[in-house]
Each structure stands twice: as C-alpha cells, then as structure tokens.
Structure 1
Amino acid sequence: MRIVVALGGNALQRRGEPMTVEGQRHNVALACIPLAPVAERHELVISHGNGPQVGLLALQAAAYDDVSIYPFDVLGAQTEGMIGYLIEQELGNLVPQDKRLATLLTMTLVDAADPAFSNPTKFVGPVYTAEQAEKLAEQRGWAFRADGDKQRRVVPSPIPRRIVEVEAVEALLDRGYVVVCAGGGGIPTMYSPGTTTLVGVEAVIDKDRASAVLATDLGADLLVIATDVDGVYLDWGTPQQRRVVAAHPDALDPGLFPAGSMGPKVEAAADFARASGRTAVIGSLEQLSSILAGDGGTRISVQTEGMETR
C-alpha cells in the first residue's frame, strides 16, 4: 500500500517546550516508533510541519542585523533539510539497515492571485503575550492572531496547486525508498506573472493541504493526517463534544473548525477523498497501526454515507 503520513507539529515541538535540537530529536524519535513498521511493510512518504522551526529561524535572522532577514522560501528550504535529517536518522535507527531513506527538497506551486496573501492565517514561531505581540507588530510589521490564550505570528498560507518534484518522489518510491518531502508544505513558489520563471514566495503553505495534493498526484492508497488528538470532534471542549468516526467529505464542513488548526486538516482530508476516491484519516500517530487496520481516527471517504459520531 502507498501511504502518505503528514506529521503534525507536535511530533517535533510540543507546546511549552524549549526549542532545542535535543528536544526536537527526542520528539522525532518518538514519532518514528509507530512509523517504523509502516516503513518496512508499505511504500511510505512522510511530510511534516515546520511552523515553530521556521519562525525561530526568522527571529534569529532578524536579530542578527537589519539586512539579514531571510525570506520564507529560503527558511522553508532550511527547515526541510534540518527536519528531514532528524527523521531520516531516527527512523533509520529503527528499520533494517537495507531500508533506504531520502529527504527531498520540494517546491510547492501556488497562484500569485491567491487571496491568502491579503489575509494571513498560518501560525509560525513561538507564542507571545499580547504586550510582546503588539511591540513586535509595531517594530517589524508582523501580523498576529490569538493562539489559545497567547498571541502568535501569522503569515499568508496560499492553496498549494502542485508539488514540482512529484516525479522525483515517484522515482524514489519505485526504488524502495522511504521519502521525506513537502516539509512545512514545501518551499512556496510561483511563476512570475506572464513568464515560466519560478520565484520564491513570502508565505508558509499548510502542510496538510500540500500533503493532500502530493498524495493525490502520487496515487496514494491512504492519507494519514497525524495530530495530537484521536480524531475530529464536533462541539470540542463542551459537554456535547463527540468524535466523528467516519464521514463523507461533503458531510463535514471545514468552516466548523478553527482556521489555524483543525479546519485545514478537514479540508485537506476531504479534498484527497474527493480527488482520489480513497480514504483520508485524521488521528493521532499513536493510533497508526489501528488506522491501517481500518479503525481509529476520523475516516473521510466518498464511500461513507453522511456522518457517524461517537
């Protein structure tokens, strides 16, 4: 089976933890435990988030001097290499030595006219108090939104249209590689208006949407969007909350969920289910074996009628 697993940001950086290399490596090593058996038995593609990492790199560059601010496409490429290295090494320590792994820097094509450029929603970097966020907004022109009881920087998150290197991913899979790619949604790029010249974009692409595009173009049998909860919940945080066990993509409205977290996951899963006719599952990484067995998480498929909750 060909499987795309999109690792949530919690697989790399847990809220409240210092952003150390040791901490990220520890979290990656834990994430690789359920991934290892899948890598041995199936064709596996791993994508991942990069919000905290790309935000930290942006802060580091801005703190160096006034002329060393790196654009987000370059920062995205840096995080793809860094996180891919950690995944390759930690997963490689758990699978047979003859199992080959590769990290591929991938560019993701977006539309220059995407309305997201005038409405930034994608969280990057650490959380701040309201006072800190106000000061940074004045100093650097950054946009902020609430993330829980804190404030966090947001940047544009245009819709991904195509993974430029999808043929290279396919070639590596055909040769038996586990492929790590589309990290952080891929390096955001677009064609200069009226040309065929690719240029970088100051944005961060949602990794779940990019993973859905990748999974569709690869003909994946299953898309797993791994997060830190065991599924999609209606009325989350209330006495009436209930988990969606299975749903048709038309039965689950992404607008019912936060735009900065579960909303894009539901939209990405529904897009993949519609485009491919196959199943997408939103659930925790710890459930991966159950998900592959047909249980666990929230399953979104055109074969499902309506919605089942529990």
Structure 2
Amino acid sequence: MNLEYQLSLNKGDRMRIVVALGGNALARRGEPMTAEYLRANVRSTCEALAALASENEMVITHGNGPQVGLLALQNLAYQDVAAYPLDILGAETQGMIGYVVQQELSNALNGAREVAGIITTTVVDESDPAFERPTKLIGPQYSAHDAAEAAAEYRWTIAKDGNAFRRVVPSPDPLSIVQAPLIRRLLEAGSLAVCVGGGGVPVRIDSKGRHVGVQAVVDKDLASAALAADIGADVLIMLTDGDYVSENWGTPEQRDIHTASADAVAAMTFAEGSMQPKIDAAIRVARAGGRALIGPLDRLDDLLARRIGTEIVPTLKEGIRWVESAPTKSA
C-alpha cells in the first residue's frame, strides 16, 4: 500500500488531499503571537506545500488554539461590552488565519490556482460528554501562579501543558462539515480550499432545524477527518513538529511507528488532547478506505516518500511496522 501511494504521486495522478496544519505551522513555541510571525510561518508553510498543491486537489485546514485564546483574552480586557462568545471568536480566527493562508498559498503558486477561503461550521451533538469534561488546550501558556489567578478570575478550567499550564474548553466530536458539498464543488472546479479553521465553528441543530453556535472548540484533526470522509479524500496529511507517532514516547521503551493498521493503532493509548485526536482522526480516515500520514512539516518530501513519519492504513498484515532505528522526536 505504501508503494501504491508513492507510485500514484510519482506518476502525477491527481489526488484529493486534506492537509491539516498543526500549531507549529502558524506559531512556534516561545514566539510572540504577532501578525508578523503568523505571516512568516504561514509563508514558509505554503512554500513547502506549493508543489503538492499545484498537482493535486487540495484542502488546507488549520488549528487556532493559541489565536482563539488570545482573542478571548483581548475581549476580556475591554469591559464596556460583554465578551464575545467562543463560537464567534472561532469564526474570527478562521477569517484571520484563513486570509493569511489563502494569500500566501496563492503567492507561493504565483496565482496559478484559485484559492478559496471558507468560513466553516461543524455539526456537533449537544449531549456530547465532552461538554462535561473540557480537554482542548487554547490560549497562551501560564505559570502555575498565573494559571491559578486566571482560573479564579475568569472561571476557566486549567490543565497542564508540558511544563506550563493552559486554559481548556470542551471539544465535542465532529459529526459532519456543513460546507462539505461546497468544498467538493470547488475542488471539482479546479480550485483549492482553505477551511475547517480551528475545527470549524461548532454548531448544534435545534428543534426547528436551525444551526446554533455552541461554546466549544472542535479538534481540527478530527474535523479534518470528518471533512476527508465527507468529500471522499484519498489521504489526510497531519503536519506536526515530530518525526513519528511513538509508543511509550519519552521513555527508554519508546518505539516509533512507521505504518499501522487502523485496528492495531486503535488498541493503543496516546496523550489525550494532543496525539490521541490525531490517531482518532487517522483511524476515521483509514476505516473509510483512505490513508492518513502524520509527520514533520519541514520534511514533507520525505514524509510523502515514506522515509519519515507514520502512516495509518485500512489493513496491514503485521498490524504495526516499527521504525528500525533509534527513537526520534514524537509527532
């Protein structure tokens, strides 16, 4: 299956690809969240994707965790009016980030392909248990002291993020992408699409069939998988700053996964709120008959050629194929 995938790219056959950009494609850890850094990071990302985008039907999705958290803080700083709800802030980040991605991708392609940015909404179930157990990290990192103060002042739920702390909000499972038929038509017309920013604005369907925004942030990888299934994508590529998905990451028993079947990787457990959603997204795509790649943005060519990164496929005889080398960075 890996060979078939490589050959399809080498022959120049057009594929329908969903590329999910992780936070590192928009903001590096430790960088201030300024417009200048956002544009510089997006520009380098789009330049890396240009060759793939020029030869295939491509949809680019992106995260928004740091940005939506920053907007929430900026809203709280102005107290003359009530703070905007999280669904509207999510739509704001789609416009803000989507505009930059749309522009920089068009520039990287020298205007050869039309790039459409779409404000996307994602249907969720209002009874999803995620509303009772927030897990999605958003906003900047805090020290333990500052996190405790923010939690008390704003009534936030706080969770640990590495050696620091961040706000967490509900992250319900995406059921469907409302604009998927529009996105499919754009691809069929030869356009590229930037959509599902931050997982799309989560909406519920009320008793009259109307869409109503809800206070949550959908995981962008899970929403990207839902979109991939809705539009019949051949592959979902989730770009990160790690080399592989790893078992027992950060321990002497770490093993890096080169290829795994959906069933084999479903039996494993990964970090909730970071790697587990990517694995869940990959499983969803593979069980729908597609493929999912998880690997480093800065080595995209090697990822596509299967020299690095992890691939999740519908079936694999041995279940998991491990990397026969020393452990590397976890995706």
| Coarse TM-score class (shorter-chain normalised) | over 0.9
Match of 1:4 in 2: 18
Q: AA paired with 1:245?
A: H
1:202-230 CA-to-partner distances (Å, cap 9, x unmatched) read 00000000000000111101110111111
Deviation, structure 1 residue 291: 3.2
Aligned partner (choices 298, 301, 304) of residue 310 of structure 2 = 298
In the aligned structure 1, how far is the partner of 2:169 from the partner of 2:268? 20
Match of 2:290 in 1: 278
Match of 2:67 in 1: 53
In the aligned structure 2, how far is the partner of 1:6 from the partner of 1:40? 17
Equivalent residue pairs, number:
308
| 8 Å Cα contact 2:133/2:170 also seen in 1 | yes
Q: AA paired with 1:140?
A: Y
Match of 1:201 in 2: 214
In the aligned structure 1, how far is the partner of 2:295 from the partner of 2:112? 30
Structure 1 residue matching 2:108: 3-state secondary structure: coil
Match of 1:152 in 2: 166
In the aligned structure 2, how far is the partner of 1:255 from the partner of 1:123? 22
1:151-179 CA-to-partner distances (Å, cap 9, x unmatched) read 10000000000000111101111111110
Structure 2 residue matching 1:151: 3-state secondary structure: strand
Q: AA paired with 2:162?
A: G
Match of 1:190 in 2: 204
Deviation, structure 1 residue 307: 0.4
Aligned partner (choices 104, 112, 121) of residue 107 of structure 1 = 121
Structure 1 ranges of 4+ moved more than 4 A: none
In the aligned structure 2, how far is the partner of 1:190 from the partner of 1:255? 31
In the aligned structure 2, how far is the partner of 1:66 from the partner of 1:170? 43
Change over 3 Å in CA distance of 1:23–1:254 after alignment to 2 = farther
In the aligned structure 2, how far is the partner of 1:41 from the partner of 1:292? 14
Change over 3 Å in CA distance of 1:71–1:87 after alignment to 2 = same
Structure 1 residues without counterparts, runs of 5 or longer: none
Match of 1:307 in 2: 320
The aligned runs of 1:158-307 (5 Å cut-off) are 158-192=172-206, 194-253=207-266, 256-275=269-288, 277-305=289-317, 306-307=319-320
Deviation, structure 1 residue 97: 2.0
Deviation, structure 1 residue 295: 4.3
Deviation, structure 1 residue 195: 2.6
| 2:71 is the counterpart of 1:62 | no
Segment drifting more, 37-46 vs 94-103: 94-103
| 8 Å Cα contact 2:296/2:303 also seen in 1 | no
In the aligned structure 2, how far is the partner of 1:283 from the partner of 1:9? 13
In the aligned structure 1, how far is the partner of 2:307 from the partner of 2:231? 24
In the aligned structure 2, how far is the partner of 1:63 from the partner of 1:254? 45
| 2:33 is the counterpart of 1:19 | yes
| 8 Å Cα contact 2:114/2:191 also seen in 1 | yes
Deviation, structure 1 residue 266: 0.6
RMSD of Structure 2 on Structure 1 (CA)? 1.3
Structure 2 residue matching 1:282: 3-state secondary structure: strand
Deviation, structure 1 residue 99: 1.2
Segment drifting more, 299-308 vs 56-65: 299-308
TM-score norm. by structure 2 comes to 0.90
1:137-164 CA-to-partner distances (Å, cap 9, x unmatched) read 1111100000011110000000000000
Q: AA paired with 1:247?
A: A
Deviation, structure 1 residue 294: 4.5
| 8 Å Cα contact 2:240/2:294 also seen in 1 | yes
Deviation, structure 1 residue 296: 2.8
1:37-77 CA-to-partner distances (Å, cap 9, x unmatched) read 01100000000000000000000001100633111110111
Structure 1 residue matching 2:148: 3-state secondary structure: helix
Deviation, structure 1 residue 89: 1.5
| 8 Å Cα contact 2:235/2:291 also seen in 1 | yes
TM-score norm. by structure 1 comes to 0.96
In the aligned structure 2, how far is the partner of 1:65 from the partner of 1:195? 34
